[in-house]
Amino acid sequence: MSQKIRVAYQGIAGAYSHLACFSYFGEDIECLENETFEDAMEQVESDDADFALIPIENKTAGRVDEFYGLIPDMKLQIVGEHFQKIEHCLMALHESSLETIDCVYSHPQGLAQCREGIKKLGIRPVAKFDTAGSAKEISMAQDPYASAIASVLASKIYGLKILKQNIQDQKENFTRFIVLANVTNTPIDKNIDYITSIIFEVKNIPSALYQAIGGFANNHLNILKIESYIPLGKLEISHFHIDVDGSIECEALQKAINDLKLYTKTFKILGSYPKNRLRKSEKD
């Protein structure tokens, strides 16, 4: 019998990261809880896990700053991406109802994404450390007047009743996750579309950023994302993260990277990985 794939994630059982592990890898896996993103990544670096699944940005809440602080020193490679649909559920004890609850617990982002729904119900929002932790707290406290906003997986794990599904204000809400592995390179399949993620620091010269990314336009490459960030402990230095259409084996991308290097002080390829099927192609 083959050993199950071990996937590290940040959070406790029932968190959206936990749900994303099953959505991406399937049900027959071993999921490993971690307190922080760094802990999850270190499990992969030490071979205690095969992969780490880390959220990098949300459609409504934006990027995950904690992860951006870690990537300059990251030893892992991005080998995949996953878009997890966020479907918030209002849950409580089985004897509770919409008429009896008077407060709702959740992560601040969960509460913000359900602001209008909470107002309509006339219940008091209470910020907690995370969504699944809120569901666990309700279950342990056995308080019939309290409720939580979390995933449907959390309701099953902690034995809670769903009072209202899809309570979020924006129905099409996704979080983008990246899949990390302890590899130096990954085989490229020429029959599928790839994304290459790169981070760099530009030289302190006029128009350095313009010149650095100009090579991608000159080589007819589509930059899917460009974002600046500040690494932890380096407040005076701005770095940039770009996602580009194409694999590292693409000749046009190699030319663009050579141009990029002329205007950068530091440079790192985070990985070339298959483009998620949910992304619209340029032909759509």
How far apart CA 134 and CA 147 sit, in angstroms, is 8
From 177, 196, 200, 216, the catalytic residue? 177
Burial class (CB in 10 A: 0-12, 13-18, 19+), 21: buried
Q: Are 31 and 18 in contact (CB under 8 A)?
A: yes
177 is catalytic: yes
Helix (H, G, I), strand (E, B) or coil at 8: strand
Helix (H, G, I), strand (E, B) or coil at 193: coil
How far apart CA 135 and CA 91 sit, in angstroms, is 8
175 is catalytic: yes
The DSSP output letter for 71 is G
From 25, 37, 175, 186, the catalytic residue? 175
As given in the structure block, the two tokens for residue 112 are 């913000």
- β pairing state of 161-164 and 89-92: antiparallel
Q: Are 109 and 61 in contact (CB under 8 A)?
A: yes
Task: List the catalytic residues.
Answer: 175, 177
